[in-house]
């Protein structure tokens, strides 16, 4: 039964206000709240504590303040100000200076200008304080706008920004050439969004094949590529391609989600590979959490066991 639950179903559940309200009562309650497996907490203090724990294991990290698709200029400004307040806290804590953001959180649904202005505010402070900023890629509807804003920022001198590409999208091979020509860093993912067949591959085999094709271009030619996957088969392909290109382990890194395949994270780090853990936090954790459940049946089983313990 659990195996049959689709990404689309969990995506729909993520929009349920009633389910969100019920989950919020328990998801972050105490240290054993079921959502804490995948979300560091709701505050920057909790995120910093999680980052320190990750770094103590010989890994590196990127912090992400959860939230997306804001509906007003005021909300976009508040999210931007939260990031501007977050940067000096991270710097003062002495942890790695790396963050991830979503442009719909900065007002992309309102206008390109609103999101671009807010992005530049964050990038300016980030550059002053020695941060790298990764712009996450959202659904296919936002790809053009995202790449446009990253290109604008890069050409204005904000070379501390990189972007994400999804192998599930058929356009990503052309987009990779575009970003490589720019010189920006790329994080390669498979993609967590439900997309129509007109723009995205529908089978796992097709998505995997596209991922390998992108790896073959990204690893030899990219600027410190980020290989974001928990799939041992894709990791094996990355190792093969990197070895064939004569790349040292320090020339790229693997990236994985907080709470997912921690055994694999540790084993790669022991072998000398860089492993960056994506650490999300914030009050708007529910949609992110539901996407993690939709990706792997084992995640659902984990949460069900946690709820039994809560009872």
Q: Which of the residues are catalytic?
A: 136, 187
Strand partners, 227: 188, 254
C-alpha 16, offset from chain centre: 23
Nearest-angstrom CA–CA distance, 2 and 28 = 24
Nearest-angstrom CA–CA distance, 9 and 14 = 9
Nearest-angstrom CA–CA distance, 194 and 166 = 12
3 burial (CB, 10 Å; 0-12 / 13-18 / 19+) is exposed
Using alpha carbons, list the distances in angstroms from residue 32 to 40, 45, 72, 296. 11, 17, 35, 21
Phi, psi of 188 (to 5 degrees): -100, 125
């Amino acid at each position: 039964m659990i195996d049959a639950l689709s990404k689309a179903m969990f995506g729909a559940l993520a929009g349920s206000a009633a389910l969100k309200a019920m989950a919020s009562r328990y998801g972050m309650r105490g240290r054993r709240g079921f959502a804490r497996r995948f979300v560091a907490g709701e505050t920057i203090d909790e995120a910093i504590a999680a980052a320190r724990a990750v770094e103590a294991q010989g890994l590196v990290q990127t912090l992400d303040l959860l939230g997306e698709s804001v509906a007003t200029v005021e909300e976009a400004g508040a999210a931007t100000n939260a990031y501007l307040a977050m940067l000096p806290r991270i710097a003062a804590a002495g942890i790695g200076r790396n963050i991830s953001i979503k442009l719909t959180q900065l007002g992309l649904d309102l206008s390109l200008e609103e999101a671009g202005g807010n992005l530049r505010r964050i990038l300016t402070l980030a550059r002053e304080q020695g941060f790298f900023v990764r712009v996450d890629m959202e659904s296919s509807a936002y790809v053009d706008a995202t790449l446009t804003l990253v290109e604008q920022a890069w050409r204005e001198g904000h070379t501390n920004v990189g972007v994400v590409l999804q192998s599930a999208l058929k356009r990503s091979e052309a987009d990779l050439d575009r970003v490589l020509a720019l010189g920006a860093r790329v994080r390669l993912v498979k993609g967590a969004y439900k997309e129509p067949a007109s723009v995205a591959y529908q089978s796992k085999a097709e998505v995997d094949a596209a991922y390998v094709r992108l790896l073959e271009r990204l690893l030899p030619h990219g600027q410190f590529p980020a290989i974001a996957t928990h799939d041992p088969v894709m990791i094996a392909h990355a190792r093969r391609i990197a070895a064939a290109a004569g790349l040292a382990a320090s020339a790229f890194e693997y990236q994985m989600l907080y709470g997912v395949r921690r055994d694999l994270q540790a084993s790669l780090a022991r072998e000398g590979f860089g492993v960056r853990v994506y650490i999300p936090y914030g009050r708007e954790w529910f949609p992110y959490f539901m996407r993690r459940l939709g990706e792997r049946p084992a995640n659902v089983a984990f949460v069900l066991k946690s709820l039994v313990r809560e009872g």
